Structure 1
Amino acid sequence: MEKITKPTFKVIITGPECTGKSTLSRQLSEYFEQPWLPEYARTYLTELNRPYKDGDLLEIAKGQIKKEDQLLSNGNSTVFLDTSMEVLKVWSEWKYNTCDPYILDNFKTRKADLYLLLSPDMAWEHDPLRENPHDRNVIFDIYKNEIEGLKKPYEVISGLGLLRTRRAIKAINNHLHK
């Protein structure tokens, strides 16, 4: 008899800069004992040794997708992605007023089972890769509209520290057991 495997439950942790995406992704991975994929853009931009250009966003998208596909092929029951194509779409349009068709196509087709949209309710912390401390609420609304347009489940996660983590765990459990 052939074994029936359940598809991987994909959770994307997303939102504006400096909202704790990486920290929460790691915490969820530890709590659920399932893997997470760090944001590929950090690796790419750190190794770039020059200011990035709009074309670099396409390369970041390709790298993110390659890493995501590797993670999804491992047969895990759940995976946590620290950002995905929605970040590249929003950032491309915000910064360059355009977005590569490759990013747009993958944004529409590589959907999550659940999006955790992190509220910009924590203090801004400087990081050499962060650019936009003043428009996080506006950008949050753009993310929300984009995710709502996908017609996929999402939860807004707010609060600081363990409260934020507990709310994310509760949201995931609610969707895992539907």
Structure 2
Amino acid sequence: MSIIHRIAVVGPESCGKSTLSAQLAASMQAQGVRASHVTEYARDYYANRPYQVAMPDIEAIACGQLQAEQAAARQHDWLVCDTTVLICKIWAEVAFGQASPALLQHYRPQDYVLTLLTATDIPWQPDPLRSHPAERDWLLSLYQAELAAVGIVPVLLQGSEAQRLQQAWHALRQLPEWGGNSLKNNQL
């Protein structure tokens, strides 16, 4: 069984997480890396139900996100995770003032070898699952504070899609886990 390396892509809504996650996983695959893009489970969860949020919904989404990671880990060595339980934790704190004990049991930010945090420097895109267009900078500060509190130094991705992808690759190449990969010095 191989070691699974998880990359967390987190940040406020409408800040390019899904785009970056898909691009990074595809770019890794194109270079021969057994990588998978683990999509945002909340989209599947709300696909056939109204978007009404209660703590049990956030807990179910966190479990679904982790199950998607586990399923992808069966066939891939690297997972590019479009959101993690961190996003559920912040979501619960914003919506309800705190995360539930059940949600916190699933919160393991140290499971990721790299945390990519998307900046708010791209235009807001409306979406039925997005609700905080004017609070993205505040939300970014919540992510930064939480990551600092658990001792994780994220890589802040800024700029265009191409710049963000390049920044992600630069961070990936710096990882000790990437060191044994024969593609370490490849350029995009």
TM-score (norm 2): 0.85
Could you say which residue in structure 2 is the equivalent of 1:66?
Answer: 67
Report Cα offsets for 1:64-116 as digits up to 9, x if no partner.
11111111232x22110000100000010011112121221221366211100
Partner of residue 19 from structure 1, selected from 7, 15, 19: 15
Give the superposition deviation at 1:6: 4.8
1:48 aligned counterpart, secondary structure: coil
Give the superposition deviation at 1:141: 1.0
Could you say which residue in structure 2 is the equivalent of 1:48?
Answer: 49
Could you say which residue in structure 2 is the equivalent of 1:119?
Answer: 119
Deviates more, 1:108-117 or 1:118-127: 108-117
| Aligned 8 A contact 1:113 1:153 in 2 | no
RMSD of aligned C-alpha atoms?
Answer: 1.7
Aligned residues: 173
Unpaired runs of at least 5, structure 1: none
Mapped to 2, the partners of 1:43 and 1:70 lie a distance apart of 15
The percentage of counterpart residues that share the same residue type is 27
Give the superposition deviation at 1:50: 5.1
Mapped to 1, the partners of 2:102 and 2:108 lie a distance apart of 10
2:47 aligned counterpart, secondary structure: helix
Q: Which amino acid aligns with 2:11?
A: G
Give the superposition deviation at 1:36: 0.9
TM-score (norm 1): 0.90
Which runs of 4 or more aligned residues in structure 1 lie more than 6 Å from their structure 2 counterparts after TM superposition? none
Q: Which amino acid aligns with 1:131?
A: S
Give the superposition deviation at 1:54: 2.5
Cα 1:19–1:165 change in 2 (3 A) is same
2:149 aligned counterpart, secondary structure: helix
Q: Which amino acid aligns with 2:95?
A: K
Unpaired runs of at least 5, structure 2: 30-34, 181-188
Query: Per residue, is there more helix in 1 or in 2?
Result: 1
Could you say which residue in structure 2 is the equivalent of 1:166?
Answer: 166
